[in-house]
Amino acid sequence: MNTDIKRILENVEIPVYFSQISLYEIAIKQKIGKLPEAPQTITEIHAQLLKDGYNFLPIHNAHIEAYNNINLQDIHRDPFDRLLLATAYHEKMTFITADSKFGFYTHQVEILFCN
């Protein structure tokens, strides 16, 4: 992980959020067997993230509405990613990811890449 991002995540003075949409995506991947290394329930994951000092960000209608502001890329149509981007866009938050496809959106959302 990038040392700057590690510092951000470990700095208790910088609020870091996790989205309800990520929990939903984890639940789906668990159900179809794509996350065998993560047997914890969504409730357990949620509780651990809160215990670790992260802030929960529920989905709001404004996030769904902002979905239309995110440019649609033919090679990146993942609805979860797009809703996460729309949430970051609406909340004016920086988004941290390891997914290079998020590079398409740097003109709309501030993105930090963990390479």
Note the pLDDT tens digit of each residue in 26-56.
Answer: 999 999 999 999 999 999 999 999 999 999 9
Question: Residue 60: phi, psi to the nearest 5?
Answer: -120, 155
pLDDT band at 72 (very low <50, low <70, confident <90, very high): confident
Domain extent at residue 58: 3-113
Handedness of CA 63, 69, 74, 75 (dihedral sign): negative
| CA 2 to mean position of chain CA atoms | 17
Q: Could you count the other beta carbons within 10 Å of the beta carbon of residue 92?
A: 8
Token digits for 10? Answer: 């470990």
pLDDT band at 66 (very low <50, low <70, confident <90, very high): very high
Residue 78: CA count within 13 A, CB half-sphere: 12
* Exposure class string for 47-59: b at 16+ Cβ within 10 A, else e: eebeeeeeeebee
Using a pLDDT cut of 90, give the percent of the chain over it: 83
Q: How many domains does the chain have?
A: 1
Q: What is the mean pLDDT of residues 84-106?
A: 96
The answer to whether the CB of 102 falls within 8 A of the CB of 85 is yes
Q: Is the pLDDT of residue 115 over 80?
A: no
CATH number, domain with residue 16: 3.40.50.1010
